[in-house]
Structure 1
Amino acid sequence: MMAGRRGAQDLFDSILFADERFRGKGYQEGFRKGTHRGLHNGRRNGASQGAKLSSEISFYYGFAITWKCLLECNADNKSRKCLRALEALLNLIQKSPLDDPQSMTLQEDTEKLRAKFRQVCSMLGVPTDFKDYIKTAEGTSF
């Protein structure tokens, strides 16, 4: 009689703890899938943001080199001031830790580059909105 009672108790326990067991398995599976999806989305977002930053800074570099070439022939005071500001912009670009996305100073250095770019644009009398210079085809992405 004891064996029958024990069997019924085991059956009752397995039913009672089934919910807990399945909830634990579901949590583990969800955690695993969520971690995988989070890493995938993080990599995709990081690549996208990195491409945007790279495009922006590459533009600043080309902008500065072009204006430097245009102004080098001028001997007036305004051109010399602009050339010094352009040199400062180029130096900031060269010193920026762009190849290290985990750099502690990347955000600060990027803000300095943007500020210097705005200063140079102001001195040259040209628009400062980066988007005005870049015309991309609809649907183009990195």
Structure 2
Amino acid sequence: MERAPDLFDAIVMAEERYRGEGYREGYAEGGRVGLSEGRRHGVSRGAGVGSEIGCYRGFAFTWKCLLSESTAEKDSKKRRMLDSFLGMMQKFPYADPTYAQLHEDLDRIRGKFKQVCSLLGVQPNFQVSPGSSTLSF
């Protein structure tokens, strides 16, 4: 014969049961919210990196065009440095966010940009604000 559920047991164990249910519901909701916030943050950071590299590429292509007509030896060194800089950006893994050395490669590109600016005699002025970042010369 089956026993009837103990009324006092249900009352005593209610706190434990509700705590468990609340934990499971909170964990599931946190996973959904975390995924959405993570995706939004990733898109924002990715757009910032893309914008930065796009600025560097535009800078390099512009200077390469400006120096293309010159035959001076010092300008050929500048063109080689610009070609090296453009090559680094060409190899950058834009489409692979899981690339293990993404930050290291980005730091190398930033360092090469500083070298190129020094060689060209250009002083970049970085101004980063919460809404946007600008680069002026």
Over residues 66-94 of structure 1, what are the superposed CA-to-partner deviations in whole Å (9 max), with x where a residue is unaligned? 00000111222321111111000000011
- Amino acid aligned to 2:77: K
Helix, strand or coil at the partner of 1:126: coil
**Greater share of helix:** 1
- Amino acid aligned to 1:45: H
Which segments of 5 or more consecutive residues in structure 2 lack a partner in the other structure? 128-133
Over residues 41-84 of structure 1, what are the superposed CA-to-partner deviations in whole Å (9 max), with x where a residue is unaligned? 10000000000000011111111000000011122232111111
Structural mapping, 1:49-128, within 5 Å: 49-128=45-124
- Amino acid aligned to 2:72: D
> For the pair shown, which has the larger CA radius of gyration, 1 or 2?
1
TM-score by length of 2: 0.86
Between 1 and 2, higher relative CO (CA 8 Å, sep ≥ 6) is seen in: 1
> Which aligned runs of 4 or more in structure 1 are off by greater than 6 angstroms?
none
TM-score by length of 1: 0.83
Which segments of 5 or more consecutive residues in structure 1 lack a partner in the other structure? 1-5, 135-142
Identity of aligned residues (%): 48
Over residues 75-114 of structure 1, what are the superposed CA-to-partner deviations in whole Å (9 max), with x where a residue is unaligned? 2232111111100000001111111111112111111111
